Chain A
Amino acid sequence: MVDGPISTPQAASGAAPVPHAAWTAARRDILEAFAAGEHLIALLGPTGVGKSLLLQDIEHSLRSPEFHVQRLQGDEWTHGATPAQVLLIDEADRLDDAALKQLAYRVTGFAVLVGRPGFAGRLASLPHRVVELEPLRATEIPAYVALRLGRMGLERRRLSKGALTALAEQAGGIPGRLNLLTGASFLVADMAGAQQVEAEHVNEAAAFRADFPADGPSARNAVPPPSEQAPRAEPPPPPSRRETEPSDEPPPEGPPTRASEPPMSEAPVGRGLPGSWNERIAAVAAILVIGAAIAWLVFPARPGGPGLPQAPDRPFTATDRPTAEDFTAPRPAWTDPGTADAAQAADAPPGGLEAPEGAGGQQAASAPLPSGAMVRVVITYPRGTAEASQRAADLSGELRGAGLSVGEPFPISRAPGEPVVSYFFHEDREAALRVQQVSATQLGQAVPRLGPVGATLPRPGAIEVGLPAAATARDERPEPAEDPDASAPEAVTPASPPNGALLPTEAAQQGIALSWRAPVEARPGCCFVEVVAVEGGGGAPREVFAAYAEAPDQQVVRPSKPGLYAWRVLTVSRAARRYTASPWQHFMLGEAPS
Chain B
Amino acid sequence: MNRPSPLLLSLFLALAACQAAPPQAPRRPVTRAPAPAPAPATPAEVEGAWSFGIVGDRCTARVAHRDMTLGITAGPGRQASFSLSAPGRSLPAGGPLRLAFSGDGGGWQLPGRTDGRRAASASMPLNDAGEGRIRDLLGGGTVSVIGRGVSAPTLSVPDAGVSGRDWYACVARLSQGQGQ
Within 8 A of A (CB), among B85-121: 104-105
- For chain B, which range describes its interface: under 10, 10 to 19, 20 to 34, or 35 or more residues? 20 to 34
Given A410-B135, A544-B56, A560-B56, does the pair A455, B168 have CB atoms closer than 8 Å? no
Assuming A407-B172, A544-B180, A560-B57, is B165 touching A456 (CB within 8 A)? no
Question: B42 at the A/B interface (Cβ < 8 Å)?
Answer: no
Q: Which residues in B have their C-beta under 8 angstroms from that of A458?
A: 161-163, 166
Having A378-B166, A456-B164, one finds 7 other A-B pairs with CB under 8 Å, namely A413-B139, A456-B163, A464-B165, A543-B54, A544-B54, A547-B53, A560-B57
Q: Distance (Å) between the CB of B173 and the closest chain A CB? A: 8
CB distance from A203 to the nearest CB of B (A): 59
Q: Are B168 and A410 in contact (CB under 8 A)?
A: yes
Task: Give the contacts of B144-171 with A (CB-CB under 8 A).
Answer: 158-166, 168-169
The residue on B at minimum CB distance from A412 is B139
Query: How far does the Cβ of B44 sit from chain A's closest Cβ, in whole Å?
Result: 21
Residue of B nearest to A549 (CB): B53
* A542 near B166: Cβ-Cβ < 8 Å: no
A15–B55 Cα distance when bound, in Å, is 52
Contact flags A533-561 to B (C-beta < 8 A → 1, else 0): 00000000011111110000000011110
Whether A456 and B160, one on each chain, are in contact in the complex, defined by CB atoms closer than 8 angstroms, is: yes
Within 8 A of B (CB), among A482-516: none
Q: How far is the CA of A161 from the CA of B50 in the complex (A)?
A: 72
1/0 per residue, CB under 8 A from B, across A373-394: the answer is 0001010100100000000000
Q: A411-B135, A545-B54 are in contact. Are A456 and B161 (CB under 8 A)?
A: yes
User: Is there contact, CB below 8 Å, between B50 and A407?
Assistant: no
- B10, chain A: closest CB distance, angstroms: 69
Given A410-B135, A455-B49 in contact, is the A546-B168 Cβ separation under 8 Å? no
User: Interface on B for A, CB 8 Å cutoff?
Assistant: 49-57, 60, 104-105, 135, 138-139, 158-166, 168-169, 172, 180
Question: Which B residues lie within 8 Å of A542 (CB)?
Answer: 180
> Is B50 a contact partner of A455 (Cβ separation < 8 A)?
yes
| Distance between Cα atoms of A380 and B162 in the complex (Å) | 9
Asked if residues A462 and B162 are in contact (CB atoms below 8 Å), the reply is yes
Determine the distance from Cα of A513 to Cα of B159 in the docked complex, in whole angstroms: 32
| Interface assignment of A422: CB less than 8 Å from any CB of chain B | yes
Q: How far is the CB of B120 from chain A (nearest CB, A)?
A: 23
A412, B165: Cα distance in complex, Å: 10
Contacts of B139 in A (CB 8 A): 411-413
